[in-house]
Amino acid sequence: MKITEYIAALRENINEAREQGKTVVLIPTMGFLHYGHLAMAEDARKQDEDHEKIYIIMSIFINPLQFGPNEDLDKYPRNLVRDSRLAHEAGVDMLFVPSVEEMYPYGESLTTVNVSKITDILCGAYRTGHFQGVATVVSKLFNIVLPDAAYFGQKDYQQFIVIQQMVKDLNIPVKLIAYPTVRESDGLAMSSRNSYLSPEQRKQAPVLYRSLLDGASMIASGENRPEVVRERIIQRISTESEGKIEYVEVRKANDLSLVQRVNCTVVIALAVHFGSTRLIDNIIVEAQKDVEKHDEIKDS
């Protein structure tokens, strides 16, 4: 595995890979890798163990544009030595670890990418400018790498929908792959921010997934009122933990629009604070008559 912090060196290696007829796959991350990140690399590599057909690039960049003034940019966990070892073991061909100066050489980006409407809800309602920062850095990575395909974790479901809309609107020729959320044995969604949790908070945090499973079970049993599902989830989280709920919402899976009745595939999404640690999670519930439509958002 090669490692570079420079765009020019990255492009040189990509050109060599393309000359060899390889498909270029990008996995953008902010580092402090966990198995959710590594599983995406392993998934991309599983059909090409000899590294003859697919060239996997994993980026590690903690993007300042997507952090608010009171968020955890400075303390976001970092361990490049560990990350490099894990990425190599997962089958990554090249690790791109640019500095802020390499990505934003003039100290700021005068050009930004803004996806409207779907960024004003859910996490976007509480993290002003976050998705503009995400869309800007992802568009930069797409322009730098020109990947044939790119992986994103389904845990950040709204992020995937935003990027999917950006790719559609800007006619970016990349295949997006939403990789299913990877979980700990007790159901907690893997996240770099889990390292912030105290032992007691870590013990309580799996209630998020249990509550989502409750909501999915209610819908599977015929409950079609989103407000009833939402209240059940809120009640369970509040009863079984000290987490402070930011939001719990039931929305259409394909475009995050509101639903009056659950008669289509939906995503139940939530954000909860355990102390200063903000965790998000979601579950997709497929209405029987809408299964085929749901498949479109997994791999577009």
Neighbour tally for 188: CB within 10 Å: 20
The set of long-range contacts for 258-262, using a CB threshold of 8 Å and a minimum separation of 24, is 259/226, 260/226, 261/224, 261/225, 261/226, 262/219, 262/223, 262/224, 262/225, 262/226, 262/229, 262/287
CA distances (Å), 176 to each of 148, 150, 173, 272, 297, in order? 9, 5, 10, 28, 9
Task: Name the nearest CA neighbour of 134 among 183, 102, 167, 105.
Answer: 167
Q: List the 266-274 sheet strands across, edge first.
A: 244-252, 266-274, 277-285
- Rounded mean pLDDT for each run of 10 residues along the chain, 300 residues in total: 98 98 98 97 94 97 92 92 98 98 90 97 97 98 98 98 98 98 98 97 98 97 96 98 98 97 97 97 81 42
pLDDT of residue 106: 86
Strands 175-179, 266-274: pairing is: unpaired
Cβ contact 175:151 at 8 Å? no
**Which domains does the chain show, CATH number per domain?**
2-179 (3.40.50.620), 192-298 (3.30.1300.10)
Q: In this predicted structure, what is the pLDDT of residue 288?
A: 57
Q: In the chain, count H helices and then E strands.
A: 10, 9
Catalytic choice (37, 51, 88, 273): 37
pLDDT tens, position by position, 27-84: 999 999 999 999 999 999 998 999 999 999 999 999 999 998 889 999 899 999 999 9
pTM: 0.93
Q: What is the pLDDT of residue 292?
A: 40
Quick one: pLDDT at residue 119?
A: 98
Dihedral in degrees, nearest 10, Cα atoms 111, 117, 120, 121: -140
Q: Is 37 a catalytic residue?
A: yes
